[in-house]
Structure 1
Amino acid sequence: MARAASAPKKEISMEEALWKSADKLRGSVEPAEYKHVVLSLFFLKFASDKFEAQRKAISEKYGE
């Protein structure tokens, strides 16, 4: 038996997809507690960027 054609999925914007993902990650955490999670993620991104820049500088100076 042939399958019925499914309705085309609505494309969502990147912003909408990120917002939905944040809602799923947030779960039942209170906003006052969620800020600690977000601030920690910002710090980890900052540290990662600084590490990568330093790694690149050392790699250029001394080679791989």
Structure 2
Amino acid sequence: MALTTDQLKKYWDTANILRKNLDAAEYKHIVLGLVFLKYVSDSFAERRDELSAAFSDPKSDRYKPDAKRLKAALDDRNYYKEVNVFWVPE
């Protein structure tokens, strides 16, 4: 999703307002937490895309022929745990 210039300016202005109330030593905890959440989200999305491709490919051993089975498989935490990816429920 691409942000417009106005949206980007609004986000930066909001961040600057929030930063004024924090000491730099405290701010790192917020930033590190956000970086971690971004990593978890990206890892989950990447694994979900991999699984979706494998489950939709009739030549794959993991092929799921119907939508109900496909959804259940995509929501199975074990497929994410096997490659050390955090489960991110919707």
Unaligned runs of 5+ in 2: 57-69, 71-90
| TM, length-normalised to structure 1 | 0.63
Counterparts of 1:58 and 1:13 in 2: how far apart (Å)?
Answer: 33
Provide the alpha-carbon RMSD of the alignment.
2.4
- TM-score (structure 2 length as normaliser): 0.48
Structure 1 unpaired stretches of 5+ = 1-10
Q: Percent identity?
A: 38
Q: Indicate whether 1:58 and 2:51 are aligned.
A: yes
Tell me which amino acid in the other structure corresponds to 1:53.
E
Q: How many angstroms apart in 2 are the aligned matches of 1:26 and 1:18?
A: 12
Q: Distance in 1 between matches of 2:10 and 2:18?
A: 12
Query: Higher relative contact order at CA 8 Å, sep ≥6: structure 1 or structure 2?
Result: 2
Q: Which has the higher Rg, Structure 1 or Structure 2? A: 1
